[in-house]
Structure 1
Amino acid sequence: MLKDKNAKPAIDLLQSRFSGVLDFVTIYNDVEDQLAQFLVAEGVLIRDEMTKYADLAKSYSSCIQVFPKNAFDKSYKVADDLYVNGIKNIQVPQESVYDTELCRVLVNWIVKAGGIEVDGQWHIVENCDNRRNKHLYSNIVITADHQRIVLELLATATQNDLDEHFKSVLKYAELLSADEIWIVHFMCEDGYTARKLHWPLNDKINVIHFFHNRRMLNVLMNARYADSNCTIKFIVDQVVPLQS
């Protein structure tokens, strides 16, 4: 990615603002901030504030900004019951694409900052009396010294799919003794943000819906989550700026 000609502005920023500096550098300019996020996603820079990991909704949004567009050419599923671009049974990116890219960016951002682990496809064994044990897999688990966060991802899911994951993520959180739960839903369905969004009844489950077109050129974020004071907050139709 850094060899791409489009990466030149980021390399110029690296040389002018970060070269030879041993401490963290504060960025105030929006353009420079996007370039710095690109460098962090590539593992060249480390984010200072990510070690605090206070605003996860903002963190996920920042991750989306640096997703490579060609990643969405690699793996598809068919959206059977949903309309995308006015058509049913059309191909849309499947969960593994989002899982891989989100995990990659989180590793580059927070693991290299130290003291935090990011694990994909965490294997969970549920002991069942008089029956065979159940083997479960949580998409992404973030572990710090005194905190564990479970992330469950969905791709262009139906309401029934969401309801099933609302139940399963609570089970994963219980088995992993997690402190925080997130459902991250990536959606290409037509008009998804124009109607009432689907949220869980349990306020312990934080949810983000990312609506985007099939080429990941336009992204809107809607979220419902509990902040550090356990106050429920909403993000409504926030445009996510993307790297060109």
Structure 2
Amino acid sequence: IPPIDVNNQSRFDVYEILKYCVSRFDRNIFNRNIKAYKTANVCIEALKGNKVLCESAYEAELHNRLSYFLRDKGGKVTGKYHLVGGSKNKKKHQYVYLVIESPGYSVAIELAATLRKKDLVDHFSRALNYSKLLKSSEVWVVHFMAEDEAMKNLCWPNDKDLKKGLRVVHIYHNLDFEEVKTTAFWLIALIIIFLTITLNYRFWFKM
């Protein structure tokens, strides 16, 4: 089971937890007869217009797995976390897909499902806005994707968004969820020597 950060008992290793939870997804949600599907704008199994899971399906399953994992570890997860932005005269109600909370620490998670690059970039901006409103400790975009050869042409945040703390993980799977691959990317700044190091964490597994 993924450990709590040994240097901060309120902080979880989010990437390890995501890998753990995804590896335990119920494959029945990938039954293409269910209604939680959308039409993809990219090639899947050499075809355009194929059906893929929409964000709400991933949200429900990931929420379930996170809840089970966090229940005895001092944390909790909330789905459709309500935020209010905008001005005093015109408030704007927004909802984060998932928020993980433990004493003194919070993580905002924006979900995306098999998107083109230009659409995924919108989720990057949205996630940073949510993080600002929530004042979260970490902010993640989790992109589930079934596009052909998706891992060869990934979309990452620009330097500006990375420096704001945005963390991105791409999770590829085939339509039956029999093969899963994931890779993540974020920045860690070493202020003492005024150097920013980019770490690219990769994890591959087959189910």
For normalisation by structure 1, the TM-score amounts to 0.73
| Structure ID, larger Rg | 1
% of aligned pairs identical?
29
Instruction: For residues 119-169 of structure 1, give each alpha carbon's deviation from its aligned partner in whole angstroms, at most 9, with x where no partner exists.
Output: 000011113254x31111000001111111100010001111211111111
Q: State the alpha-carbon separation in 1 of the partners of residues 121 and 65 from structure 2.
A: 27
Structure 1 or 2: more strand by fraction: 2
Question: Which residue of structure 2 aligns with residue 198 of structure 1?
Answer: 155
Q: State the alpha-carbon separation in 2 of the partners of residues 119 and 228 from structure 1.
A: 29
Question: Which residue of structure 2 aligns with residue 155 of structure 1?
Answer: 113
Q: State the alpha-carbon separation in 1 of the partners of residues 126 and 114 from structure 2.
A: 18
Q: Which runs of 5+ in 2 are unaligned?
A: 191-195
Runs of 4+ in structure 1 deviating by more than 6 angstroms, as ranges, are none
Q: Measured at CA, do residues 215 and 228 of structure 1 come closer, stay the same or move farther in structure 2, by a change above 3 Å?
A: farther
How do 1:34-183 and structure 2 match up within 5 A? 49-50=3-4, 52=9, 53-73=11-31, 74=34, 75-79=36-40, 81-113=41-73, 115-130=74-89, 132-183=90-141
Q: Which runs of 5+ in 1 are unaligned?
A: 1-46
Question: Which residue of structure 1 aligns with residue 193 of structure 2?
Answer: none
CA contact (8 A) 1:140 1:152 kept: yes
CA RMSD in angstroms comes to 2.0
Question: Which residue of structure 2 aligns with residue 19 of structure 1?
Answer: none
**1:170 Cα offset (Å):** 0.9
Q: How many residues align?
A: 191
Structure 1 or 2: more helix by fraction: 1
Q: State the alpha-carbon separation in 1 of the partners of residues 84 and 3 from structure 2.
A: 34
How do 1:18-37 and structure 2 match up within 5 A? none
For normalisation by structure 2, the TM-score amounts to 0.85
